[in-house]
């Protein structure tokens, strides 16, 4: 019975996540436009975009590129499904970094200067946020004694009470994960920059659409982890989780529009310091409390 329950949750995620992710992406563009005093595209614009990409002829630079991009999409979907089905948090993050490596390899394989530059920057970004994603899993383990998502959502108190530092750290690295300025080093979503489109420069047609869809899945997964900080066994907590996700998403868009992009070394120093100061201190305190 439990397995069927897991499977239903995983399938729900696989079906619904692109819809939610697409709308989130549309909302993001609308927010950004309004902040800049523009009308902005309709909220369903990302679906139009992806639809058009899918109908275009795909141009590839080499034959293994498509292998890596497909791998990236499949692994990202797998990662999210594992999370929403109630799997092991650490395993989720390991699978996540694996899918990211696939994407980086796709860019590397092209040998294009912009793709390669984007790939290296993407790797650096991973190096910046990897400690935090692992720490989030460890934080939950400290707070509720399990790595399994299915156990964590049955908690009596919201995890945020014990893990405020982890939450701040995670929201901070979400800037990188959601590819927001000042840390959008690898793809440069803002136009007219020296990177062209970085990581995705040499992708087109359905390959590019796959990457877009994978990023929608990824966004939903990230929001799910944000929600995890608030969810308890009481149904009411789910509303809090949704509100928290909305607020965090809004903050990310706001940051995106306020800050200009920084140099890589600044990103490395700032993110590692933030992780060490907030999550590290939080972890030390939790450990001391656990002794008593």
Partner 1 sequence: MAFQILDVVNFLIVFPFIMAVLVFIQKNASALRNTTIILGGFTIMAAAIYVAVNVLTAPDVSSFVYLKETHLPDKIVIGGEIFLMCLVCFLSIKYKKYYAILFSLAGTIPVLWMDLTGKAVEGNTHIRIDTFAAVMYLIVGVVGILICIYASGYMKDYHHHHIDVQDRSNYFLALMFVFLGAMFGLISSDNLGWIYFFWEITSVCSFLMIGYTRSTEAVDNSFRALWMNLLGGCGFAAGLMVCNMGFSISNLSQVTSTNNKLLIVPVTLFAFAALTKSAQFPFSRWLLGAMVAPTPSSALLHSATMVKIGVYMLIRVSPVMYNTLTGIMITVIGGFTFFAASLLAITVSDGKKVLAYSTISNLGLITACAGTGTPEGVWAAVMLVLFHAVSKSLLFQTVGDIENCMGSRDIEDMHGLIIKLPRLAFIMMIGICGMFMAPFGMLVSKWAALKSFVDSGSVWLVLFLVFGSGSTLFYWAKWLGKICTVIHQSFELEDITPRSELVSIFPLTSLIIIMCFAFPWMSGHMVQPILDEAFHTNIPDVISGSDVIIMMIMVVMVFMLPIGSRFLSLGKNSKMSMSYVAGVNAGDDRHYIDSFGKERALYMSNWYMTDYFGEKKLLWPSIWVAAILVAVMLIVVVGGAI
Least distance from partner 1 to the Cβ atom of residue 183, Å:
15
Question: If binding is defined by CB under 8 A, does position 75 make contact with partner 1?
Answer: yes
**Coil vs helix vs strand at 88:** strand
State the binding string over 27-66 for partner 1 (x if CB under 8 A, else -).
Answer: ------------------------------xxxxxxxxxx
Q: What is the smallest separation between the CB atom of 143 and partner 1, expressed in angstroms?
A: 12
| Residue labelled with tokens 């729900």 | 12
What residues numbered 178-217 form the site for partner 1, per CB under 8 A?
196, 201-202, 205
Q: How far apart are CA 97 and CA 82, in angstroms?
A: 14
Buried-exposed string 259-278: b where 16+ CB fall within 10 A, e elsewhere: eebeebeebeeebbebbeeb
Candidate segments 29-37, 126-134, 226-234, 254-262, binder of partner 1 by CB under 8 A: 126-134
Closest approach of Cβ 34 to partner 1, in Å? 33
Reduced to 3 states (helix: H, G, I; strand: E, B; else coil), residue 193 is: coil
Record the tokens describing residue 102, joined without a space.
Answer: 């696939």
CB of 114 to partner 1, least distance (A): 6
Residue 65, exposed/middle/buried by CB under 10 A (0-12, 13-18, 19+)? buried
- Residues 217-256: x where in contact with partner 1 by CB under 8 A, - otherwise, as a string: ----------------------------------------
CB atoms within 10 A of CB 3: 8
Instruction: Check residue 77 for interaction with partner 1 (CB under 8 A).
Output: no
Residue 138 interacts with partner 1 (CB under 8 A): yes or no:
yes
Comparison of 131 and 164: residue with beta carbon closer to partner 1? 131
Cα–Cα nearest to 89, from 157, 146, 130:
146
Distance (Å, rounded) from C-alpha 239 to C-alpha 174? 21
User: Does residue 110 touch partner 1 according to CB under 8 A?
Assistant: yes
């Amino acid at each position: 019975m439990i397995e069927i329950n897991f499977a239903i949750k995983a399938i729900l995620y696989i079906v619904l996540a692109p819809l939610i992710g697409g709308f989130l992406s549309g909302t993001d563009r609308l927010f950004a436009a309004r902040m800049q005093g523009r009308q902005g595209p309709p909220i369903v614009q990302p679906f139009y975009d992806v639809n058009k990409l899918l109908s275009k002829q795909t141009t590839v630079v080499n034959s293994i590129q498509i292998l890596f991009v497909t791998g990236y999409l499949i692994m990202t979907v797998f990662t999210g499904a594992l999370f929403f089905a109630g799997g092991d948090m650490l395993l989720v993050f390991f699978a996540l970094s694996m899918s990211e490596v696939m994407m980086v390899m796709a860019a590397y394989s092209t040998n294009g200067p912009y793709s390669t530059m984007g790939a290296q920057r993407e790797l650096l970004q991973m190096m910046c946020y990897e400690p935090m994603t692992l720490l989030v899993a460890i934080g939950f383990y400290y707070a509720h004694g399990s790595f399994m998502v299915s156990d964590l959502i049955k908690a009596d108190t919201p995890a945020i009470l014990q893990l405020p530092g982890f939450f701040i750290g995670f929201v901070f690295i979400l800037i990188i994960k959601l590819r927001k300025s000042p840390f959008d080093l690898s793809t440069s979503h803002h136009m007219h920059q020296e990177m062209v489109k970085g990581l995705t420069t040499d992708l087109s047609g359905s390959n590019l659409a796959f990457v877009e869809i994978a990023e929608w899945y990824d966004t939903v997964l990230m929001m799910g982890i944000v929600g995890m900080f608030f969810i308890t066994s009481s149904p009411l907590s789910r509303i809090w989780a949704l509100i928290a996700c909305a607020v965090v998403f809004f903050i990310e868009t706001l940051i995106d529009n306020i800050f200009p992009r920084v140099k890589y070394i600044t990103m490395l120093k700032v993110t590692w310091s933030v992780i060490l100061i907030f999550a590290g201190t939080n972890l030390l305190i939790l450990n001391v409390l656990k002794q008593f």
